[in-house]
A and B are shown apart, each in its own frame.
Chain A
Amino acid sequence: MNIETVKIENNEGDFRVNGTMIVPPSTDNADYVFVQEWIAAGNTPAPQYTDEEIAFNTQAELNATSQAYLASTDWYITRYAETAVAVPEAVTLARATAREAIV
């Protein structure tokens, strides 16, 4: 195998090689043996996430959490529209925060 890039895939010791191959940490695996030789030759695997990827993942998680909160409180809005029962102030404020958080 011709190794060009090696990146840490997860916290279980797996590597992503050349962007396309996920190699488990087992000496039974011929590709893992190649990766170990590559490291022994003085190379260092890239971290699991770049700063950009960490920022993207953080935002994605925030988006999902915010969307889930909005969905779970939509019934307050429906109830207000149908019966004029006021939406609690805390819910209104929290929904506003959730909407602003979504990018």
Chain B
Amino acid sequence: MSKARNLSLLSAVEAGATADQTKADLNAIGVSGGRKNIIINGGMQVAQRGTSSAGLGADATTYLLDRWAFGTGGTAGRLTMSQDSDGPAGFANSLKLDCTTADTSIAAGEQSYLIYKFEGQDLQQLKKGTSSSESMTLSFYVKGNAAATYTAEFYDADNNRHNGQTFSVTTSWNKVTLTYVPDTTGAYNDDNALSLYLFIWIHTGTTMTSGTFASNTWSASASNTRVSASNTSFFDSTSRTLNITGVQLELGSVATDFEHRSYAENLLACQRYYEIIADGSRANDSPYFGVGQGVKSDQINWFYDFKAEKRATFTLIVPTVSNGYAAKTHSTTKSHSTLGFTSVHQSLHSIMGYMTNIGGVTEQSCWQMQLNSASAHIAVSAEL
């Protein structure tokens, strides 16, 4: 683009162009709006829980890449979800779904989807439920093993309203842009609770498709209108794959370039929802998880300050590993197969856990708490 054209566009901005015109003009000359992407980890960089999970398909919601989950119910289909190194130019990672067991006998109630959940307080700029409600634009890159059609649906959990649109997948990386019209009905609660879902529907029975699918229309939720009848079943063949990355949701009706953030910035944002305290399987990770204090003859309490404030009360995740968790001094080691914590002793910033059912602890003694096995692992989850 010529300098003259750039100057012309900037002049238009100065002349008081509309918000969408301004975004389009700035995007055209390569100026980022900054902090425009409401979605965290849209580039699929962060994967604290692991990089591959196989055999998914039984009724459950499973997180792998941070903030993104695979949900399913009723299907015999199975897939592997992974962090893949394939991506469009400028993207080193994508989320990949790979069908490993087909399901071509689809019962009415079957459903499978990728899901992303938003806090209400992060959506207030959309002004939903007011007369000045704004459009929002979802953009992302997708690629499959063959042509396919899936549905991207927003579901307003505060008001039970929804709006879906279909998109196409080809065997090449393509950018999908979907603008969703404003909704003057039903505001999002301004709090830390779940207000909005993004569903990427990849497999459903007729329970979700038998009604009239009204593309890009907000309406009160009815199960049979949530997914387009043209939706492809991801489980129609074990050849099926779907890669997705560069997911961005922004205010307005213009899709601007993806807002790339550093890994560190993404990780910190993800840690509001899930944080690893210590992981024995990571060679470069510290096996230590804080300082312990003897509080009675069979219990040591341990303390850890989080790297990021948690969204809400959290769940402590501690796999059972024989002697996997230890309290040590220079000459003494106490170990146990698990740890515990009491909810009355948690805050959003820190945790006080305990190691109990161990003998010979002196009150007021001090211990270094550390993992004692490569299989041991401590994390907290405050997912929506």
Interface residues of A (CB under 8 A from B): 1-2, 9-10, 12-14, 16-17, 19-26, 28-32, 56-57, 60-61, 63-65, 67-68
Interface presence of B20 (CB below 8 A): no
**Of the residues A22, A24, A31, A63, contact of B359 by C-beta under 8 Å:** A63
Docked Cα-Cα span, A68 to B320, in Å, equals 29
Q: Are A24 and B298 in contact (CB under 8 A)?
A: no
Q: Sorted from nearest, which 5 A-B pairs have the closest CB atoms?
A: A24-B343, A28-B312, A2-B60, A64-B297, A26-B313
**Is B153 engaged at the interface, CB distance under 8 Å to the other chain?**
no
Given A10-B342, A12-B342: A26 and B298 within 8 A (CB)? no
Tell me the chain B residues, 298-345 only, with Cβ under 8 Å from chain A: 298, 311-320, 340-344
Partner of B315, one of A19, A22, A61: A22
Number of A-B contacts (CB under 8 A): 80
Contact between B343 and A56, CB atoms less than 8 A apart: no
Q: Is the CB of A10 within 8 A of B297?
A: no
Map CB proximity to A onto B55-95 as digits: 1 under 8 Å, 0 otherwise. 00011110000000000000000000000000000000000
Q: Which residues of B contact A9 (CB under 8 A)?
A: 340, 342
Whether, in the assembled complex, B16 has its beta carbon less than 8 Å from a beta carbon of chain A, the answer is: no
Q: Sample 24 A-B pairs with CB under 8 A, ordered by A number.
A: A2-B60, A9-B340, A12-B342, A12-B343, A14-B343, A20-B317, A20-B319, A24-B314, A24-B315, A24-B346, A26-B312, A28-B193, A28-B311, A28-B313, A29-B315, A31-B315, A32-B313, A57-B298, A60-B357, A60-B358, A61-B297, A64-B297, A64-B360, A64-B361
Q: Which of A2, A19, A26, A64 contacts B343 (CB 8 A)?
A: A26
Q: Which residues of A contact B340 (CB under 8 A)?
A: 9-10, 16, 22
State in angstroms the CA–CA spacing of A24 and B245 once bound together: 34
Q: A13-B343, A26-B343 are known contacts. Are A20 and B320 too (CB-CB below 8 A)?
A: yes
Query: Which residues from B are CB-within-8-Å of A61?
Result: 297-298
Cβ A21 vs Cβ B315 within 8 A: yes
Does B384 reach chain A (CB closer than 8 Å)?
yes
User: From residue B64, how far is it (CB to closest CB) to chain A in Å?
Assistant: 14
**Assuming the A-B contacts A14-B342, A20-B320, are A68 and B297 also in contact, with contact meaning beta carbons closer than 8 angstroms in the complex?**
yes
Query: Does any Cβ of A come within 8 Å of B382's Cβ?
Result: yes
Q: Which residue of A lies closest to B297 (CB)?
A: A64
| B-to-A contact residues, CB < 8 Å | 58-61, 192-194, 297-298, 311-320, 340-344, 346, 357-361, 381-384
Min distance, Cβ A70 to any Cβ of chain B, angstroms? 11
Determine how close the nearest CB of chain B comes to the CB of A91; give it in whole angstroms: 21
CB-CB under 8 A from A2, the residues of chain B are 58-60
| Secondary structure of the A contact surface, majority rule | mixed
Determine how close the nearest CB of chain B comes to the CB of A72; give it in whole angstroms: 12
Chain B residues near A12: list those with CB within 8 A: 342-344
Closest to B313 in A: A26
Point out the residue from A14, A21, A68 that lies within 8 Å of B317, measured CB to CB: A21
* Consensus secondary structure, chain B interface: loop
Most chain B beta carbons < 10 A, residue from A13, A29, A61: A29
Tell me if A57 and B357 are in contact (CB < 8 A).
yes
Determine if A65 and B342 form an interchain contact, defined as CB atoms under 8 angstroms apart.
no
The one of B298, B382, B383 that contacts A64, using a Cβ cutoff of 8 Å: B298
Chain B residues lying within 8 Å of A24, measured Cβ to Cβ, are 313-315, 343, 346
In the complex, what distance in Å separates the CA atom of A21 from the CA atom of B317? Answer: 4
B298 near A21 with CB under 8 A, answer: no
- Give me 5 other A-B pairs in contact (C-beta within 8 A), A20-B318, A21-B315, A24-B314 excluded: A20-B317, A22-B316, A28-B192, A30-B194, A61-B298
Q: How far does the alpha carbon of A16 sit from the alpha carbon of B58 in the complex, in Å?
A: 21
Cβ of B265 to closest chain A Cβ, rounded Å: 24
Q: Are B320 and A60 closer than 8 Å at their CB atoms?
A: no
Q: Is B359 a contact partner of A64 (Cβ separation < 8 A)?
A: yes
Do B297 and A65 have beta carbons less than 8 Å apart? Answer: yes
Known: A29-B313, A30-B384. A60 touches B58 (CB 8 A): no
Chain B residues with CB under 8 Å of A1's CB are 60-61
> Looking at the complex, which one of A10, A29, A64 makes contact with B314 (CB distance below 8 Å)?
A29
Among residues of B, the one whose C-beta sits closest to the C-beta of A3 is: B60
A56–B357 touching, CB < 8 Å:
yes
Which A residues are in CB contact (< 8 Å) with B342? 9-10, 12, 14
- Distance, CA A31 to CA B297, complexed state (A): 32
Q: Which residue of A lies closest to B346 (CB)?
A: A24
